[in-house]
Amino acid sequence: MDSFTIIPNGTLRDERLSYCARGVLAELLSRPENWETNADSISERARKHRDVVGEGRRAIRAAFAELEAAGYMVRKRERVPKGQKGGGDFVTVLEVYDVPQERSHGGTADATSIRVTSIGGTSMSGTSSRRTDVRSTEDEDAGYEHSASLAAAREGEDAHARELRRAELLRLYEAANQLDNERLRRHLLAFERKRPVIYRECRQAALGQIGGEQGGRQLMAGPDGVRAIDLLSFKYALQHYAGRLPDWLVKLPR
């Protein structure tokens, strides 16, 4: 068993990530190849082995969202092998890396991440990967289909389809920029009512990104802080549901 884990300083000092997210990433990278877990298991372990209250499931889910937005996690769909429980079904997994696979573009991460695995489970860039099963973490929001999320590389998308998707997202981002504060808040309120869990994840990701940028904390404390957080939260929502935007997210109630 390895007695230590080497993690780049740039990763440990990535100011886009909260300290909780950095700790979760370090925990995942310290595990052996193909080790599987989820937010629930990590939260349960944090509470079980500490005398004080550990991080809750929502905190770990928010950390997952930060890591995915920053490119340290890449969401993939895989088919369960025949002969195993659920054989033939598709499941969603997150591959974990020690360096970002895709830097942010236009305020949010693009869905262009591609992992090339060589012998031994190490990527061509030399970064190690782990898997985390996200099935149980999605149960809380039963009734919706989890579409492409921040930093997702949906299996089967070719370069042309991704380019079209990026162009559509840029169009949506520009439309969001034109919303006045009242309309933006009404969109977010509808989002919070319909999908409170995903809303919180997008909100947390926006707070983490702005807070980690140079001058971000001053921006959040200033007169334009609420607008900046609301707008970036809405853009994360647009990318989360990219390709299948629900009416309640883009159309205001009468």
Give the pLDDT mean for 190-196: 87
User: Is it the case that residue 128 has pLDDT exceeding 60?
Assistant: no
For 141, the token pair is 């929001």
The residues facing 97 across adjacent strands are: 129
- Which residues have CB under 8 Å from 252's CB, separation 6+? 183, 186, 187, 190
pLDDT tens profile 139-154: 434 333 333 333 333 4
Average pLDDT, the chain: 71
CB-CB contact of 35 with 131 (8 Å): yes
Give the pLDDT mean for 188-212: 86
For residues 165 and 222, give the distance between their C-alpha atoms in angstroms, rounded to a whole number: 34
Comparing 223 with 50, the larger pLDDT belongs to 223
CB-CB contact of 190 with 213 (8 Å): no
pLDDT tens profile 15-36: 888 888 898 888 888 887 777 7
- Map tokens 């409170």 to a residue: 196
Comparing 242 with 228, the larger pLDDT belongs to 228
CA dihedral 185, 189, 195, 200 (to 10 degrees): 60
Among 20-24, 76-80, 114-118, whose mean pLDDT is lowest?
A: 114-118
The predicted model scores a pTM of 0.42
Q: How far, rounded to the nearest angstrom, does the alpha carbon of residue 1 sit from its chain's CA centroid?
A: 30
The full set of domain ranges for the chain reads 9-141, 159-250
pLDDT recorded at residue 243: 67
For residues 230 and 134, give the distance between their C-alpha atoms in angstroms, rounded to a whole number: 26
